[in-house]
Structures are given as structure tokens and as C-alpha cells.
Chain A
């Protein structure tokens, strides 16, 4: 599986935007970039995914570099409930890569 690199931790203030980076220099042409997050004492939950174009949904935005070797998850206004570990995962469920390969993720702390 292609590897992703994320900072171990980041800190933000409530109601400010947060930009969570992810590097994936060995991404293949068929890999989608998926983001999941895990709140304390819960299972992971899906946030967003994309292939080439930037994506928006009600939870977040995903900005993908033109060469696809990096991406950024954007939380437009962080709340205390956004404090979680955020995982950036390369995945293509259309192929044989059915399982999610998690790294250690980025622990996001949100200060009130």
C-alpha cells in the first residue's frame, strides 16, 4: 500500500480554520485520497474523499495538489467536537484494495 505522512499533532483555536496536511508522494493513478477521523472512545468515521479535484461536503473540504502528491483537509471553523485523530488514507475500493490501511494520523487539539 502507498504510504501517507502526516504530522503527529496539531493545535487549533475554536472557530478558526484548520488545515491538516498529508503527503503521499508514491500515490498511484487509481488511488483515491480518503480521510477518516476518530473521536475519543469511538470508532473511526468517514470525513471525505477525492481523486483529483477539490471536494467539499458538510463536514470539510479536501484540497488536492495538482501533482496529487499531497492533500489538505480543511475544517472551516473548528469546534471542540472536532478534536480527534485524523487519518489520511490512500484507497481504491474499485480495485483489490478493499481494506483501509491506517497510519498513526494527526491528533487535533482544539482550544476553547
Chain B
């Protein structure tokens, strides 16, 4: 298994443009998470999926953000009308939760977004 992959690794865009990031989790992992990390801070939870169902969205996820996980495999995170405050590292993580055990989340390398 090659681990969690994210594409692109870097994205520079102009304010007002739309961007889309992709995450490919470890195969067979039933949970997928998106986090955002700004400089000097720890990652902050954005949203998560159990299979294809999006079960929670953080208040950080404004209406301009949307995430999907069709067929319970890869996931996309789209940001519409980007703002400079969206500049951050976007991290994806996946896990396999089994009853009675503690979950370990496996993170991808992240997509670094810079909004000019």
C-alpha cells in the first residue's frame, strides 16, 4: 500500500478563483478526514466521511467549501471564490475503524494552497 496521496501538492491561485483538491485514501479505509493547517498551528478538523456519507462539517467549513466522496473511495475538496484567508495546508487522512479498537489516522502529505 502506498499510503494516502493528495493532489496537487501545491496550488497557487488568484483570489476569486475556484480550486479542487483530491485525496486518495488507503484502500479499504472506511473513514476519510479533511483538516486545514495554517502556519505555526496544529491541523484543524474540517469534515469527515464514513464510506460515502459526510457525517460532520466543522464551522470552519463555510458555504464556499464543499467535499465529496463518491462511491466511498477518493474524496475531493472544492473551494469556490477563494479568499486570501483560505491560504493554508489542506490535509487528508484516512482510517479503518473497527469496533473495540482505537483508530489510527493516516495522513497524506497535504496540498499547500496560496491565494494571491
Chain A residues close to B by CB (< 8 Å): 32, 34, 41-46, 49, 85, 87, 91-94, 98-105
Contact of B25 with A by CB under 8 A: no
Q: Which residues of A contact B42 (CB under 8 A)?
A: 85, 87, 102-105
Q: Is the interface of B mostly helix, strand, loop or mixed?
A: loop
CB-based nearest A residue for B92: A43
Given the known interface contacts A43-B110, A49-B102, the answer about A100 and B43 at a Cβ–Cβ threshold of 8 Å is yes
Q: Which residues of B contact A102 (CB under 8 A)?
A: 41-44
Chain B residues close to A by CB (< 8 Å): 4, 31, 33, 35, 40-45, 48, 56, 91-93, 95, 97, 99-110
Smallest CB–CB gap between A66 and chain B, Å? Answer: 21
Max count, chain A CB within 10 A of own CB: residue among B101, B106, B107, B109: B107
Contact present for B45 and A101 (CB under 8 Å) = yes
Contact present for A98 and B93 (CB under 8 Å) = no
How far is it, in angstroms, between the C-alpha of A42 and the C-alpha of B91 when the chains are bound? 9
How far is it, in angstroms, between the C-alpha of A67 and the C-alpha of B77 when the chains are bound? 42
Contact present for B102 and A94 (CB under 8 Å) = yes
Q: Can you list 9 contacts pairing A with B, beta carbon distance less than 8 Å?
A: A42-B109, A43-B91, A43-B93, A44-B105, A49-B102, A98-B48, A99-B33, A102-B41, A105-B42
Contact present for A99 and B102 (CB under 8 Å) = no
Contact present for B102 and A44 (CB under 8 Å) = no
CB-based nearest B residue for A51: B102
Given the known interface contacts A102-B42, A104-B41, the answer about A45 and B107 at a Cβ–Cβ threshold of 8 Å is yes
Q: Which residues of A contact B102 (CB under 8 A)?
A: 32, 34, 49, 91-94
How far is it, in angstroms, between the C-alpha of A85 and the C-alpha of B108 when the chains are bound? 16
How far is it, in angstroms, between the C-alpha of A44 and the C-alpha of B41 when the chains are bound? 12
Max count, chain A CB within 10 A of own CB: residue among B91, B99, B105: B105
Of B31, B43, B45, B100, the contact of A44 (CB 8 Å cutoff) = B43
How far is it, in angstroms, between the C-alpha of A94 and the C-alpha of B56 when the chains are bound? 17
